[in-house]
Amino acid sequence: MDLGSVLQDLRSPLEGLGMRMDGLEGSLTMEPLAGDGSDRRFFRLRSGSLRVVLLCSSPPKEGKTGEDLSYQLIGTHLRRQGIPVPEILWSDLKRGLFLLEDLGDCHLQKLASRPGRNLDLIYGEVLRLLVCLHQKSRKGFREDFCFDTPRYSPSFIYTRELEYFRKAFLIHCLHEEVHEAELKHDFQKLAEAAGTFPPSLVFHRDFQSRNVMVFQGKLKLIDFQGMRFGPPTYDLASMLLDPYVQLDGRLQKNILKLYWKLACKLWNGKHRDFRKSYESVRLCRNLQVLGAYGFLGLGKGKKQFLRYIPRAWNQLLQWLAGPVRGRYPQLEKRLREIERRKSHFIHRRQFAPAQCPSSDRSEA
């Protein structure tokens, strides 16, 4: 993409926002912003005291609802429901271009890493944002908002999370020979358990500390284009498994209790259903992120993601030995056997590049 040409095409909307492009003092400047797993590109545009973010992505294939359209539809919907997300100031969906409200550079990870921070207070506010999302966003949410399947169904879970883990992590990252049939029974059982939820509920699917911004003292949510109908417990699991901020066991238990207190109506007051859902989707999320770290780190050359594998691997083994012990015996047995042989290899991050499977989505 020719950025010079893009900026010329943006002259009218940028000048409409009060930004100067005449080359004089206070005229437009542009700086790239760091991204994570996505292939989308972000730039900060400045003119005097004005700032906006330019988002550039690939236009959708003909006849398909693209990620950009989902971003616009879901972003507009969330703002209408009173959920704090960045304002979309202008867009050109055919070219994959957006001008967005600039929320600065401080995300939750930075806030949680500051000396003297109080994680109990911080995550109390984060949890309220999450409950607000789960309670308000389902009103008027539609399947045609979603570019990447509208529901977190057992078939989606099996293919895009569990098989993704087997191919991208076990085979291509650890070089293990694991055939689909070996784990198929456990994966089907897990997919059915995780894909059972009240039908009107929606979730973010990548609720972690780099997708929550801190702007003018308030929390705002980003990267929401992957929302769909599904279990809100998945977002809770994503937050507690966050690779960027480590939360101790005490705080995790307190977060679970507070979430239930604030959001029990979503589960019709049935704590057993809530707990069963959380236990299943936490395992799915753990498997999915390991697949993503392998795919991004080796398949796409983003080596920074490999550093998160040892901790996610330990979390997976602990969850299989704890709350879901005995439910998925073949998976548990196979991973224990890999841990005996390759623990040193995993914890030293001695991963060799390999041909990784393609993936439509690579959240991490």
DSSP annotation string for 162-200: IHHIIIIIIITTT-----HHHHHHHHHHHHHHHT-S-TT
Mean of the per-residue pLDDT values for the chain?
A: 92
Same-domain check for residues 152 and 272: yes
Same-domain check for residues 97 and 112: no
Residue 205 counted as domain residue: yes
Burial class (CB in 10 A: 0-12, 13-18, 19+), 344: exposed
Task: Record the tokens describing residue 208, joined without a space.
Answer: 């972690």
Looking at residue 175, its pLDDT comes to 95
The mean pLDDT of 271-275, rounded to a whole number, is: 97
Task: Record the tokens describing residue 320, joined without a space.
Answer: 């299989």
Q: The domain spanning residue 271 has which CATH number? A: 3.90.1200.10
Which amino acid appears at position 149 of this protein? T
Query: Which carries the bigger pLDDT value, residue 189 or residue 21?
Result: 189
Q: Summarize pLDDT for 143-185 with one digit per residue, the tens.
A: 999 999 999 999 999 999 999 999 999 999 999 999 999 999 9
The mean pLDDT of 296-322, rounded to a whole number, is: 95
Same-domain check for residues 171 and 308: yes
Q: Provide the greatest CA pair distance for the chain.
A: 69
Same-domain check for residues 222 and 288: yes
Neighbours of 43 (CB within 10 A): 16
Task: Record the tokens describing residue 251, joined without a space.
Answer: 């705080």
Residue 361 counted as domain residue: no
Same-domain check for residues 12 and 45: yes
Radius of gyration of the chain (CA): 21
Residue 314 pLDDT more than 70?
yes
For 295, the domain range is 108-347
Q: Comparing C-alpha atoms, which of 360, 52, 34, 46 is closest to residue 225?
A: 360
Tokens 């095409």 belong to residue: 9
- What's the total number of domains in the chain? 2
Residue 229 pLDDT more than 70?
yes
Same-domain check for residues 223 and 133: yes
- Portion of the chain with pLDDT greater than 90, in percent: 83
Q: E strands of the chain, at which residues?
A: 29-33, 41-47, 50-56, 88-92, 97-101, 202-203, 212-215, 218-221, 228-229
Same-domain check for residues 196 and 323: yes
Residue 57 counted as domain residue: yes
List of residues 6+ apart from 337 with CB closer than 8 A: none
Looking at residue 5, its pLDDT comes to 80
Residue 356 pLDDT more than 60?
no
The mean pLDDT of 98-107, rounded to a whole number, is: 96
Residue 311 counted as domain residue: yes
Cβ–Cβ < 8 Å for 345, 175 = no
- Give the CA distances from residue 140 to residues 73, 195, 207, 227, 357, in Å, rounded to whole numbers and listed in that order: 11, 22, 21, 13, 36
Looking at residue 168, its pLDDT comes to 97
Q: The domain spanning residue 35 has which CATH number? A: 3.30.200.20
Residue 353 pLDDT more than 70?
no
The mean pLDDT of 256-284, rounded to a whole number, is: 97
Which amino acid appears at position 287 of this protein? L
Same-domain check for residues 120 and 52: no
DSSP conformation class of 19:
-
In this structure, of 36-45, 93-102, 226-235, the range with the lowest mean pLDDT score is 36-45
Q: Which of 61, 79, 101 is the last residue of a domain?
A: 101
Looking at residue 26, its pLDDT comes to 62
- Portion of the chain with pLDDT greater than 70, in percent: 93
Residue 364 pLDDT more than 60?
no
Same-domain check for residues 50 and 17: yes
CA 296 from centre of chain: 14
Tell me how far apart the alpha carbons of residues 343 and 318 are, in angstroms, rounded to a whole number: 14
Same-domain check for residues 332 and 222: yes
The mean pLDDT of 19-32, rounded to a whole number, is: 78
List of residues 6+ apart from 268 with CB closer than 8 A: 198
Q: Which of 101, 136, 156 is the last residue of a domain?
A: 101
Looking at residue 39, its pLDDT comes to 79
Cβ–Cβ < 8 Å for 40, 100 = no
**∠ at Cα 279 (278, 284), nearest 5°?**
90
Q: E strands of 275-349, at which residues?
A: none
The mean pLDDT of 56-61, rounded to a whole number, is: 75
Same-domain check for residues 298 and 326: yes
Tokens 């040193």 belong to residue: 344
DSSP conformation class of 217:
T
Strand pairing report for 97-101 and 202-203: unpaired
Tell me how far apart the alpha carbons of residues 53 and 104 are, in angstroms, rounded to a whole number: 9
Secondary structure tally for the chain: helices H, strands E: 13, 9
Looking at residue 360, its pLDDT comes to 45
Q: Comparing C-alpha atoms, which of 186, 229, 165, 228 is closest to residue 327?
A: 186
Q: Which H or E run contains 257?
A: helix 249-263
Looking at residue 246, its pLDDT comes to 93
Looking at residue 7, its pLDDT comes to 85
Same-domain check for residues 143 and 32: no
Residue 126 counted as domain residue: yes
Residue 355 counted as domain residue: no
Residue 159 counted as domain residue: yes
